[in-house]
Structure 1
């Protein structure tokens, strides 16, 4: 009986020891697994921290790039605006320069015209004693003391670079009357081309609302086709009659 009990105890001890060994082995395995997992967790956690740091760095760089982009965009727009303004100023200066060039050329042309007028006046003044001179507005007038036909008078004015008097205003009529001193003189008006159609020597038709014909004139008595100023009125006279005449020279012609 005692021998059987001892055999059972030994078998039980073996089972117990085996169970304990299995538990210990399992604990070792679990501890090993836990250690491995902890190490991996630590590595992953470290990598996560690195990734978060990298992410934060990228976010910061992105924000810096966005700020730089906004600044560069603002600078670009400012430069575009400045370029546009400079282009406008350049165009304005070009236009101003062109205007100044035109004004300079016009002034040069005016000087040349004045020089030519002075030369013509000097030529005309060589006939001292035969002419009486006066000015009005932008024209110079010469009144001859000689006597010629209307056509001869016209040719004489043309040779001098002028034309027979053309009266364009009340003021011009009044200054001529004042200088004429009640004498008679040919003016640049005739109806030689077509009877009754009075034209100035520049080809313009007489404005009937602006004329100083004497009462009953023009009457074409004796083929009177050329106009004469006498005092403050106009008459028609025979173009072949010999009379003084008035030349007119526009300064800026």
Structure 2
């Protein structure tokens, strides 16, 4: 009979085991011991050898089991670690790819914005250049208009009449055609040249004089008599009166007379009208 008691101490627990054996169990043990004592030594030696062999085999088996376990478990552990590292690398790779794609998207957006800004800059530059050109043109036009205005103001002096960038003055003194022209030229002008119907109508509206020498005369041009203006230009538009121009000899100068033109001898004295361009 075995009894176990526990006693507590300051430094731990002490276990006390009491062993009680019956008389019969002790006798059996003594009998077995006596039998073993009477066995031969040879038998005892062989049994020891067998025990040692069994122990060696058992140890070898244990070692083999350990080695097999190591061979099986170690690759699994290595594979598991490699797989985890691979998964981590794949995750990092995926993250890097996503970041790269995000950067590429940002780069594309920035490039598009840059191109848009460059386009806007180009358009603004073109508009600026156009505005500068327009401003230069306006300045040039303003300068010309100022000059023309100054000429017009100058044209209005000394009793001259202004019309379409030209000024006109009537010579109150009666002179023949040649003297009238010389009088106009001394004042930087010449006898009037009527180029169009508008100028003819201007004379009709603003002139009170009925008979005025104009800058038209008949001249011999290479053996042929032709009507020429004082600037040597050919007569293209005319406002001759009925039966004019006359073929009478000596009537080689033109006279503005009551809204129409007539021919008269050049040595006849009439009033005349001078014309001067305000743009010269």
Q: How far apart, CA to CA, are the structure 1 residues paired with 2:66 and 2:206?
A: 143
Verify the 8 A CA contact 1:166 1:200 in the aligned structure 2. yes
Q: Of the two structures, which has the highest relative contact order with CA contacts closer than 8 Å and spacing of 6 or more?
A: 1
Give the CA deviation at 1:92: 1.8
Change (3 A) 1:85 1:182: closer
Give CA deviations for 1:39-82 in whole Å, capped at 9, x if unaligned: 42343234224313321321231122122112212211221221
The aligned residue for residue 133 of structure 2 is 95
Mapping for residues 60-79 of structure 1, pairs under 5 Å: 60-79=98-117
The aligned residue for residue 112 of structure 1 is 150
Verify the 8 A CA contact 1:188 1:227 in the aligned structure 2. yes
Q: How far apart, CA to CA, are the structure 1 residues paired with 2:214 and 2:260?
A: 12
TM-score by length of 2: 0.70
**222-231 or 9-18: bigger deviation:** 9-18
Q: CA RMSD in A?
A: 3.3
Mapping for residues 137-216 of structure 1, pairs under 5 Å: 137-177=164-204, 179-181=206-208, 183-194=210-221, 195-207=224-236, 210-216=237-243
The alignment of Structure 1 onto Structure 2 pairs a total of residues equal to 239
Give the CA deviation at 1:27: 0.8
More strand by share: 2
The aligned residue for residue 97 of structure 2 is 59
Q: Which runs of 5+ in 2 are unaligned?
A: 1-42
Change (3 A) 1:136 1:65: closer
Give the CA deviation at 1:145: 2.1
Q: How far apart, CA to CA, are the structure 1 residues paired with 2:163 and 2:76?
A: 117
The aligned residue for residue 227 of structure 1 is 254
Give the CA deviation at 1:171: 4.2
TM-score by length of 1: 0.77
